[in-house]
């Protein structure tokens, strides 16, 4: 034991603990998924104003939806796993919204992150599997690859090729407030929670 | 190992695992990233700390506490980069990846190598034992965790990494026992440094 050794030991303990504390948001977020959810709740972020188009190829802007709460998800239409579950979740959500006083004040938007494959026809096809598009549920894509990436980066969606021609992605429901800011991210099967949050934003 | 050979080995290791675009290949798979690239980066640092940095002087005042602090620093640095979110961040952001590479070499490997050659046999045994239990805990976590830990990797890779971690733990255990059996008692830091230089 000597003075220098003890001082360096204490310094390492202090700095090491501080680094881990900082790197896990005070030991609350160990995964990127938790980290992005916390980050979004702490500081809501505006979605980039990208040019979208719907299942008819008509231009759509998220600005058109300002004043409404948007529940948004990212899918690719060839997906056979999580996006199907998300589709069913959104179909149920649409039913609940249309039966309640939220109709017209909460809008569902499904965004394809695979614009190369998903044209308007594929979007329409995907929409028809869940009862088709209407005012309460829009199906869109950002035709420009660059703008799709911009959207994904803002929402911190990571898309990884699954090696079989499809993708793996961190699916979730994104809650956008009436000012167009991403304010919450919830699990893809937590539609009740998403609806509750939406209600709180109106 | 001579200083010159150690430096050559370090340069070779870093060229293979740390320089893009090769580094990206290592990072494309969770198992390659966690079990090959990161350990090889640490190994490069260990070689620097153990064979290139000044050797412990036999008979000089023992630096056990400094050595323990150095090894602890290495442990903190490794723990940090084992947080799934920082592994993810390193894959998604070249800047973070550069910090990862530099810190694993300089803040994990170098102090580990520098401290290891100064630690006594009991402390070494303790560190070795900790490494085994860490590998077991991580193996269990990755093998059993049902959700995705890293957004950048497929969930199917997690159990593979978990099993590989168990393999690492078993390997460390066998090597540890072998060292204890073969190294018949004279494995003090001073003796080790004398034979190594």
Q: Which of A9, A29, A35 sits opposite B65 (nearest CB)?
A: A9
Rounded to 5 degrees, φ, ψ at A60 are: -130, 145
Task: State how far residue A64 is from chain B, nearest Cα, in angstroms.
Answer: 31
- Stretches where chain A sits below pLDDT 50 are none
Q: Which of A2, A34, A162 sits opposite B65 (nearest CB)?
A: A2
Q: What pLDDT, on a 0 to 100 scale, did the predictor assign at position B184?
A: 53
Burial of B153: CB neighbours in 10 Å, binned 0-12, 13-18, 19+: buried
B-chain residues within 8 Å CB-CB of A11?
Answer: 69
Peptide bond into B21 cis (omega under 30): yes
Task: State how far residue B80 is from chain A, nearest Cα, in angstroms.
Answer: 6
d(CA A149, CA A152): 5
Residue B176, both tokens: 């540890």
**What is the predicted ipTM?**
0.84
Q: Which of A12, A32, A160 sits opposite B76 (nearest CB)?
A: A12
B-chain residues within 8 Å CB-CB of A74?
Answer: none
In chain B, which residue's Cα lies nearest the Cα of A160? B152
Token pair 């799934």 in the structure block, residue: B84
d(CA B71, CA B75): 6
DSSP code at position A131: T
B-chain residues within 8 Å CB-CB of A185?
Answer: none
DSSP chain B: --HHHHHHHHHHHHHHHTSTTHHHHHHTSHHHIIIIIHHHHHHHHHHIIIIISPPPPTTSPP-HHHHHHHHHHHHHHHHHHHSHHHHHHHHH-HHHHHHHHHHIIIIIIHHHHHHHTTS-HHHHHHHHHHHHHHHHHHHHHHHH--S-S-TTS-TTHHHHHHHHHHHHHHHHHHHHHHHHHHS-S---HHHHHHHH-
Check CB contact of A165 with chain B, cutoff 8 Å.
Answer: no
Each residue of A43-94: pLDDT tens digit?
999 999 899 999 999 999 888 888 999 999 999 999 888 888 899 999 999 9
Does the distance separating the beta carbons of A158 and B152 come in below 8 Å?
yes
Each residue of B92-144: pLDDT tens digit?
899 999 999 999 999 999 999 999 999 999 999 999 999 999 999 999 999 99
């Amino acid at each position: 034991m000597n003075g220098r050794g003890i001082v360096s030991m204490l310094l390492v303990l202090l700095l090491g603990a501080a680094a881990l504390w900082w790197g896990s948001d005070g030991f609350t977020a160990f995964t990127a998924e938790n980290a992005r959810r916390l980050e979004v709740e702490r500081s809501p972020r505006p979605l980039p104003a990208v040019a979208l188009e719907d299942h008819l190829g008509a231009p759509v802007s998220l600005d058109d939806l300002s004043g409404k709460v948007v529940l948004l998800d990212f899918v690719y239409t060839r997906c056979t796993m999580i996006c199907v579950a998300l589709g069913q979740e959104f179909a149920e959500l649409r039913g609940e919204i249309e039966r309640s006083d939220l109709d017209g004040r909460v809008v569902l938007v499904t965004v394809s992150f695979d614009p190369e494959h998903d044209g308007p026809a594929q979007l329409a096809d995907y929409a028809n599997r869940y009862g088709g598009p209407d005012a309460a549920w829009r199906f869109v894509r950002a035709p420009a690859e660059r703008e799709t990436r911009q959207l994904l980066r803002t929402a911190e969606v990571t898309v990884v090729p699954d090696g079989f021609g499809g993708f793996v992605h961190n699916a979730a429901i994104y809650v956008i407030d009436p000012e167009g800011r991403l304010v919450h991210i919830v699990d893809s099967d937590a539609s009740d929670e998403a609806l509750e949050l939406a209600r709180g934003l109106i | 190992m001579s200083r010159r050979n150690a430096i050559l080995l370090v340069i070779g290791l870093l060229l293979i695992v740390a320089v893009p675009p090769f580094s990206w290949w290592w990072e494309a798979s969770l198992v390659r990233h966690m079990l090959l690239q990161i350990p090889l980066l640490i190994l490069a640092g260990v070689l620097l700390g153990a064979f290139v940095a000044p050797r412990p002087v036999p008979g000089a005042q023992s630096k056990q506490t400094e050595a323990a602090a150095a090894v602890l620093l290495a442990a903190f640095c490794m723990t940090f980069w084992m947080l799934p979110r920082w592994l993810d961040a390193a894959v998604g952001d070249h800047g973070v990846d550069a910090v990862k590479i530099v810190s694993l070499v300089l803040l994990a490997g170098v102090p580990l190598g520098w401290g290891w050659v100064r630690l006594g046999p009991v402390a070494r045994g303790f560190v070795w034992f900790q490494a085994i239990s860490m590998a077991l805990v991580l193996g269990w976590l990755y093998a059993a965790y049902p959700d995705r830990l890293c957004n950048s990797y497929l969930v199917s890779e997690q159990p593979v990494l978990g099993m590989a971690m168990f393999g690492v733990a078993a390997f460390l255990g066998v090597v540890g026992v072998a060292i204890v059996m073969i190294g018949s008692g004279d494995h003090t830091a001073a003796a080790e440094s004398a034979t190594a230089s």
